[in-house]
Amino acid sequence: MPEVLVLVDHDGERVHRTTYELLAAARRLGDPAAVVVGTPGTTGRLGESLARHGARSVHAAESAEADEFLATPAVDALERAAREVSPVAVLVSATTDGKEVAGRLAARLDAGLLTDVVDVDPSGVATQVVFGGSYTVRSQVTHGSPVIALRPGSFEPQECPVEARQRGLALPPVDPARSARVTARRTALGGDRPGLTEAAVVVSGGRGVGGVDGFKVVEELADALGGAVGASRAAVDAGYYPHQYQVGQTGKSVSPQLYIALGISGAIQHLAGMQTSKTIVAVNKDPEAPILDLADFGVVGDLFTVAPGLTREVTARRAGR
């Protein structure tokens, strides 16, 4: 079967869940082939987990400067791999970095690009959410190997152990004059919670939480459910919560199994980033809040009463009482 290239998202030591989702999607189209971009030795640390999730081949694109530049090494690696194997498709995660890589790669390959894809069938027809989530369309690339940016959470990771063969993939020197160099790194404070794009459960707060202290009820519910914390743009702009937790068109797009919205009215900007969640629960005092029309379960009430009560019930059930 033809290869399907998958860009591996990792932190140097661990493969991120989004990559396993891409490998699951790739199996619908052909033989998954993982492309690892990193410093020397990275592929050796990640190879076993990639093979366990179905990567039949692993392209090791390693160089000492792979982590020193944004996007360019990944684009270079995918371009070289694509020209070598003529893949049936190239899959990346539709994160901020992934969309940057996908757009630049499609331009280099003169190929069609599909972004915010939430499903793909064996014939290559993709389902996308477009125009800020207002419409769902089905699209197919008719020129070149399609570059597909898949929204995190759209596929369920599945273990499919195979014997993976490793191939070396030489990276060309990066031109500093045409690439953005990383000059400093800071560790984001995330605690023990899963990342937004990897979490099966996301609990988000909006302007209705009233302030920084109000987000404590959001965090407590998220912790009880083993989920991640998110925030609406209104909450972020008001300074209630850090920007990296923003869910929406100008933040992160998520598709968890369960999405709980506390005090979020449901502006289209926010809905665009979470409306593909499998189950949506909304708590809002306003019975006319737009998010209640989208929610699978809606509660009209005070979030400071509803959320703590839910937290206590979840905690009690998990404790077996």
Q: Are residues 171 and 244 in the same domain?
A: no
Give the domain extent around 174: 3-178
Predicted confidence (pLDDT) per residue in 73-90, tens digit: 999 999 999 999 999 999
Q: Are residues 147 and 221 in the same domain?
A: no
Strand-pairing partners, residue 54, are none
Could you tell me if 211 and 157 lie in one domain?
no
Q: How many domains is the chain built from?
A: 2
| Selection from 30, 86, 89, 84 nearest residue 54 by Cα | 30
Q: How confident is the model at residue 195 (pLDDT cuts 50, 70, 90)?
A: confident
Better pLDDT: 192 or 41 = 41
- Is 251 part of a structural domain of the chain? yes
Q: Residue type at 269?
A: Q
Band (pLDDT 50/70/90 cuts) for residue 129 is confident
CATH of the domain at 117: 3.40.50.620
pLDDT, tens digit, for every residue of 255-287? 899 999 999 999 998 998 999 899 999 999 999
DSSP bridge pairs for 259: 202, 280
The CATH number linked to 242 is 3.40.50.1220
Yes or no: say if 200 and 92 are a contact pair by the CB < 8 Å rule: no
* Claim to verify: residue 118 and residue 10 sit in the same structural domain: yes
Q: Which residue has the tokens 């300074």?
A: 239
Last residue of a domain, one of 145, 178, 211: 178
Q: 183: pLDDT confidence band, cut at 50, 70 and 90?
A: confident
pTM, to two decimals: 0.84
Q: Answer yes or no: is 191 within a domain.
A: no
Beta bridge partners of 60: 36, 168
Q: How far is CA 31 from CA 6, 108, 223, in A?
A: 10, 23, 38
**pLDDT of 194 strictly over 80:** yes
